[in-house]
Structure 1
Amino acid sequence: MILCCGEALIDMIPTGRASGQDAFVAHSGGAVFNTAIALGRLRRKVGLLSGVSNDLFGTQLATALGDSHVAVDYLVRSDRPTTLAFVKLENGHASYAFYDENTAGRMITTDVLPKITPDVGALFFGGISLACEPCADTYAAFLDREGAERAVVVDPNIRPGFAPDEGRYRARLMAMLARADMVKVSDEDLAWIMPDHAGLQAQAAALQACGPAVVLVTRGADGAIGLLPDGDMVEVAAERADVIDTVGAGDTFNAGVMARLDEMGLMTKAALRRLGPEDLKQALSFGAKVAAITVSRAGANPPWLDEL
């Protein structure tokens, strides 16, 4: 099983009304939630570890997970409210206003973390849960506790505005990246993580030198690159798509890469640290393919395996 660790929230998506004013529709979302949903739809064994409310939105999230074959055994349920993210779309790109104080996801602490079973072979971390405290400290502690023998994948999805103390955020994040076997970043994420290096390849190499064996960098319409454990690089082009919006694109890409690696028996710590160019290129290409379907329709709606 791949256990995805991080936020599950409600995206309030604007929709036009006859009056000309926007209304908002509640969609299940969150970067880590989206990755788990995409993995489930690609028929990989997957679960979600997240703080989820008992309120109506939390019930909506749990139901959506089950409908996409994501195990809910690791959800930490509470009576705190659900995080709400109000979305503004401009030319297909999303900006967000988050309402996250005292929520079920944000307030998850180490004393309520579940024990995980031996069938969990890989851990995925990412999203705003790595920036917001106390949950960010909780997920860092969980990585320390469970990551030594399991494959660790991190997509930091940088959100410095969520962290009141940027120094604490950067230090915690760099410690987690150092323990990862594979890291996926956007080109913008990479520039923030490695501000003292110029150029994408130099920044990616500097990140790899911090500890992860494999570094993946997405570049939007310019495709993605991957640095292998030996430092060599592979590159894939973006799939052509009629873009409706980019919500969930990176999350689906993550799922596609991990799904293909898992299918090939390569989602282990040892396998990722000796990954070869053909296997990585195949995984990147599959990630680009599933992401292209997501951007061709509204919202974070990853494809099912039979759609491929």
Structure 2
Amino acid sequence: PDAPTALVMVSVDERGVPLYTFYGSGTADRMVTQADLASVPADAAAIHVGSYCMVVEPVASALRALVDRQRGRSLIVYDPNVRLTIEPDVDTWRESVRWMQRRADVLKVSEEDIHALYPGMRVDTFIAQSLEAGVALVVVTWGERGVVAVTRSQLAVEVPAVPVTVVDTVGAGDTFQAGLLAWLQRAGKLTRRAVEGLVQDELVEALRFAARAAAVTCSRRGADLPYTSELADVEGFEFF
């Protein structure tokens, strides 16, 4: 769209946890409409959506239309990535999560986001609700405690976090998601059926790869995602 780019200012606290300030009224990221969807190929292998673009208009309606169009064609992947500083209405976020739980094949969410939207809810309760709604794979990141994932076939695995000296965590969740999708793509598992059929060793390997990628991002300032070549020399992280 003929609109300015959003500006995001990031500061971090003493633990490296980021605080985001957005300057984004009327910016291009929000102004995507359903008319723009013709440029998205119908044979796209995966569609990833998330964060505030699922709760602000007109882009939210456009992305919902895209998800509905691509269900059964593409792997639908979702990360709520809650930003209450942009949309403070928690109910709007909850409605978006419920809508996507009925449509997403892969749902990745942080423990922090679950607690922001559903104070007091147990992580396993959220996982169970998501699987019951139809999600094939739910992945919950726990920060320094690692990650847990459960499939519709009730395969459940936990992977510890990769030890790292944290500079800041900006982009860590996005890196994890990118690493997970990259692993699935390289393994030929970028379909709902393949995700549902993951065996324990495969799911553990996928989560470890994604966690290692996120750890690299945490080790340097800003959302500076690693290249796969940066992971190639780490034992256990051969990328095919």
- TM score, norm. by length of structure 1: 0.70
**1: CA distance between counterparts of 2:141 and 2:51?**
16
Q: Deviations along 1:94-131, whole A, 9 cap, x unmatched?
A: 11111111111111111122343355111111122112
Aligned residue among 94, 107, 110 for 1:183: 107
In structure 2, how many angstroms separate the alpha carbons of the residues matched to 1:207 and 1:161? 25
Determine which of 11, 18, 29 is the counterpart of 1:105. 29
Matched residue, 1:61? none
Deviates most, 105-114 or 166-175 = 166-175
Q: Give 1:99's aligned amino acid.
A: Y
If the length of structure 2 is used for normalisation, what is the TM-score?
0.89
Q: Which moved more, 1:79-88 or 1:116-125?
A: 116-125
Q: Which has the higher contact order (CA 8 A, sep 6+)?
A: 1
Q: Which amino acid aligns with 1:199?
A: R
Task: Provide the residue aligned with 1:29 in structure 2.
Answer: none
Which runs of 5 or more residues in structure 2 are unaligned? Answer: 232-240
What is residue 74 of structure 1 aligned with on the other side?
none
- Distance in 1 separating the partners of 2:91 and 2:12: 30
Asked if 1:292 corresponds to 2:178, the answer is no
Amino acid at match of 2:217: T
Aligned to 2:230: 307
Give the aligned partner of residue 253 of structure 1: 176
State how far apart, in whole Å, the 1-side matches of 2:121 and 2:90 are. 21
CA distance in 2, matches of 1:168, 1:222: 29
Quick one: which amino acid aligns to residue 95 of structure 1? Answer: L
- Aligned partner of 1:121 in structure 2 is 45
1:200 to 108, 114, 123: 123
Q: Distance in 1 between matches of 2:88 and 2:121?
A: 27
Distance of 2:222 and 2:2 partners within structure 1 = 27
Are 2:134 and 1:211 equivalent residues in the alignment? yes
**Which residue does 1:11 correspond to in 2?**
none
Tell me which amino acid in the other structure corresponds to 1:251.
Answer: D
Letter in 2 for 1:276: V
Consecutive unaligned residues in structure 1, runs of 5 or more: 1-77
How many residue pairs get aligned? The number is 230
User: Offset at 1:166?
Assistant: 4.0
Relative to its length, the structure with more strand (as a share) is 1
Query: What does the per-residue CA deviation read over 1:202-222, in whole Å, with 9 as the maximum and x for residues that have no partner?
Result: 222122212201100000000
8 Å CA contact retained: 1:229, 1:274: no
Tell me which amino acid in the other structure corresponds to 1:97: T
Q: Distance in 2 between matches of 1:193 and 1:259?
A: 28
Instruction: In structure 2, give the amino acid aligned to 1:260.
Output: W
Select 2:68's aligned residue among 119, 133, 144: 144
CA distance in 2, matches of 1:294, 1:175: 31
Equivalent pairs: percent with the same residue? Answer: 38
Aligned to 1:220: 143
- Write out aligned runs for 1:32-51 (5 A): none
Conserved 8 A contact 1:108-1:138: yes
AA matched with 1:186: S
Cα 1:245–1:165 shift into 2, 3 Å = closer
Q: Check if 1:133 corresponds to 2:57.
A: yes
